[in-house]
Structures are given as C-alpha cells and as structure tokens.
C-alpha cells in the first residue's frame, strides 16, 4: 500500500502508479502515547487485507500517518516502565499526544497545535477522502470529520483550527470516518462539532474488554453521529486486524468511497 508518513520525519512515499484504481486517501490518527510510524506498524496487517479485498473493485487505499506534535515525558505516560538498559539523562520515549487534558478544568491543552499538524498532513497529501483514528485519535477523527462538514463555526480563535482544516482539504468534507475505541470530547469549545450531529458516515469499533475507554464515553460519540455503524469485537483497547474484523471496514469503505461529496448549501 502506498504510504505517506506524517510531518515528524518518517519516510515520505508518493503514491505509485495506481493502474487506473481510485485512490482513497485516509488520514490515520494514532492514539495517546503512540506515533505515526508505530500506528502504521500496528495496522500493517489491516492495510494488507484492505488492499487484497478492495483492489479487485478498483479501490486503492492510501493511508497517511502523521505524528502528533505534543511530546509526552515518561512521567506523563500511565503505567510507564523505564527501559531495562540505561538511556541517559536526556532520554525521552517516542510518545506523542494530539492534546493534553487538564485534570483540574477538563480543558484540552495544545489542541490547536494538534489540529495544525493534522491540517499540514492533509495539505501535504493534497486533500484526504477519509479519516480513521484509534482512542484519542478516534475522538479526533470525529472532530475532524465534523469540522470539515458544512456547519457553522465559532467566530474568532475558537474556530480558527476548523477553518484551517477546511482550507487544507480544499473545502471538501471527508466521505467517511472510522473510530476505534474513540470517544466524545466533553469540552464546551468543541460543542459545535456535535450539534448538529455529525452527518459524515461513521463506523465505530468498540472492544467488549476495553478497560481504557469506558463504553459510555464511546457511546457518547456514537450518539452524536447521524447514522453510525457500530461493530463490537471481543477484545480490549486495540485495533483488531484479523480478516473477520477487517471485512466490516472494507464493506464500509466500498459503500462510501465512490460517493460524491455533498455540495455546500446555497
């Protein structure tokens, strides 16, 4: 699968000759404490299955894996265990976040920086057709899909990041969004992303044994989507990559990838 890594220095690859297949550029948003390259490594089996299933119907998935800009220190990572071998005083794990939640106020710190990185990745790709994310990236996928829709944006600084996303994607909404263990972001400044409900077609994967993101938080995002499709897998907090769980995604992509973008209302 032709892959474009994110702005944090991973190798950049331009899509190869697609043999007449329709490229579907998918923005892949990693979870809290991950990176673009790590997320790609964890989803390579899923990529290969999608290519195998979608190529015969002339669809070519092109994933794009940016890395979030907010670096996490070792002490910021829940349950972090230091390496057995000494790494030196300046050692920092390769762990990143799209935002940092302020425990006292519940506000999302550094969200603007995270959204600016997303906009850069979209712009560098020449626009994207879809967005997919895991955990914090799954929550972010919902926000990105909503912001790219034709909905009113807050005036001033609160809506600047959304306007930046729209400019980067040439004013087009994405055709679909996929959230693995994603959740609703209960932040007042983000309320415009959920009201009205997200009308972009969404697919939500929930793990029945997920102990990291409570089901109620994921349900909060599902409830704020107009026509959500929900798949529950018998695992924990991860992206299931076996064929059994890849097929619902392949079918969802097949259904929506060929659809034309809705025209903005006059």
State the pairing for strand pair 22-29/130-134: parallel
Helix ranges restricted to H, the chain: 36-42, 44-54, 111-124, 136-148, 160-168, 215-222, 243-257
The structure's pTM equals 0.88
Decide if 67 contacts 11 (C-beta within 8 A). Answer: no
- Token look-up 């600016």 returns 116
| Residue 5 confidence (pLDDT) | 43
What is the Cα–Cα distance from 200 to 207, expressed in whole angstroms? 23
204, 183 Cβ separation under 8 angstroms? no
Q: What is the CA radius of gyration of the chain?
A: 18
pLDDT tens digits for 51-106? 999 989 899 999 999 999 999 987 777 766 666 665 556 667 889 999 999 989 99
Domains and CATH numbers, the chain: 4-74+95-257 (3.40.50.1820)
Quote the DSSP letter at residue 209. T
Quick one: angle between helices 136-148 and 160-168, nearest 10? 80
What is the mean predicted confidence (pLDDT) over 237-259?
94
Instruction: Say if residue 117 is exposed, middle or buried (CB neighbours under 10 Å; 0-12, 13-18, 19+).
Output: buried
Nearest to 151 by CA among 262, 264, 27: 264
pLDDT of residue 12: 42
Position 155 pLDDT exceeds 80 = yes
* % of the chain surpassing 90 pLDDT: 77
Two structure tokens written together for 143: 């926000």
Report the pLDDT averaged over residues 125-145: 98
Which residue, among 125, 132, 146, has the nearest Cα to 178 in the 3D structure? 132
Contact 202, 177 (CB under 8 A): yes
């Amino acid at each position: 699968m032709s892959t474009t890594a994110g702005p944090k220095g991973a190798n950049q690859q331009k899509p190869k000759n697609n043999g007449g297949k329709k490229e579907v550029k998918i923005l892949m948003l990693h979870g809290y404490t991950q990176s673009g390259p790590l997320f790609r490594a964890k989803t390579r089996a899923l990529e290969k299955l999608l290519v195998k299933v979608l190529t015969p119907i002339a669809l070519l998935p092109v994933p794009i894996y940016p890395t979030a800009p907010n670096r996490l220190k070792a002490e910021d990572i829940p349950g972090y265990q230091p390496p057995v071998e000494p790494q030196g005083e300046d050692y920092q794990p390769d762990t990143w976040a799209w935002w940092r939640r302020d425990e006292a106020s519940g506000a999302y710190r550094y969200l603007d920086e995270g959204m600016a990185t997303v906009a850069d990745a979209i712009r560098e790709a020449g626009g994207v057709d879809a967005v997919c994310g895991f955990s914090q990236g799954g929550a972010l996928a919902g926000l990105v899909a909503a912001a790219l829709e034709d909905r009113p944006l807050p005036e001033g600084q609160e809506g600047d990041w959304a306007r930046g996303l729209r400019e980067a994607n040439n004013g087009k909404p994405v055709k679909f969004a996929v959230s693995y263990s994603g959740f609703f972001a209960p932040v007042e400044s983000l309320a415009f992303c959920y009201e009205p409900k997200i009308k972009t077609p969404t697919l939500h994967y929930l793990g029945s044994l997920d102990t990291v993101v409570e089901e109620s938080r994921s349900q909060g995002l599902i409830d704020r989507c107009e026509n959500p499709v929900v798949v529950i897998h018998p695992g924990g907090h991860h992206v299931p990559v076996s064929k059994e769980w890849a097929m619902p995604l392949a079918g969802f992509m097949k259904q929506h990838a060929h659809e034309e973008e809705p025209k903005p209302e006059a």
